[in-house]
Amino acid sequence: MQLTYRKAFKTILVRDLTIAIRHRDDIFNPLLFFIITVSLFPLGIGPEANTLMKIAPGIIWVAALLATLLSLERLFKNDHADGSLEQLLLSPCPTFVLVLAKITAHWIITGLPLIIIAPLLGVLLNLHQDSYLALMLTLLIGTPVLSLLGAIGVALTVGIKKGGVLLSLLILPLYIPVLIFATSAIDAASMNLPYDGQLAIIGAIFVGSLTLAPFAVGSALKVSIN
């Protein structure tokens, strides 16, 4: 049975990654949005190094949050439009396994590129040299949370034709704790203060989301489709 679940997870994961590679805008649009948003701040605020250093953690994290939100609507929409989502829900494999595979694919497509490009944008914003490790750790732990929590909102609005605004209203309040603790950890690192506590809280949110979100998404999908 475990092998069957693993095979189903791998099948959905490979399928979604293959579709994303064929439609490269799914990968590049959030990444370009992230880069453009961060790049506009030095132009609007000015090149003063100390000012950029103070606001860099917030800018990078807010841009990452919005880039993830931009890409969320496609998580289930295309499958719902072509009828494959109903087939997934009718599959004998537990829904939470299939949902977790789709969320994992979404994070690989959206979250991983943001993590890779973030240090370069940190240089652009004159991020403190002691903050880069904290930036990478918070993004590595926090971006999966954005995908997991975001999937709940997408599942609730998948049957609505223009649910983008509603999705934002549902999801943004859930993102605020991650944003607060992530920026706090980066700020603490810049002052050579310990930030283990903030990372532990983000990690706890990640574990809780990983445990509960796939079940919540599965239930929400069944309600939205029925």
Which SS3 state, helix, strand or coil, does residue 47 take? coil
* Segment-wise mean pLDDT, segments of 10 residues, the chain, 226 residues: 76 88 82 92 83 90 92 80 78 85 92 93 90 94 94 84 75 92 94 93 96 90 76
Which tokens is 63 given? 């841009």
Which pLDDT score is estimated for 1?
54
- Counting Cα atoms < 13 Å in the Cβ hemisphere of 69 gives 20
Hey, what are 111's tokens? 């979250």
Which DSSP symbol is given to 110? I
Q: Given this model, what pLDDT does residue 163 score?
A: 62
pTM strictly above 0.85: yes
Taking the C-alpha atoms of residue 138 and residue 150, their distance in angstroms, rounded to an integer, is: 17
Under DSSP, the state recorded for 109 is I
pLDDT of residue 2: 55
135 to each of 8, 9, 150, 198, how far by Cα in Å?
34, 30, 21, 12
Token look-up 């997991």 returns 148
Whole-number pLDDT of residue 202: 96
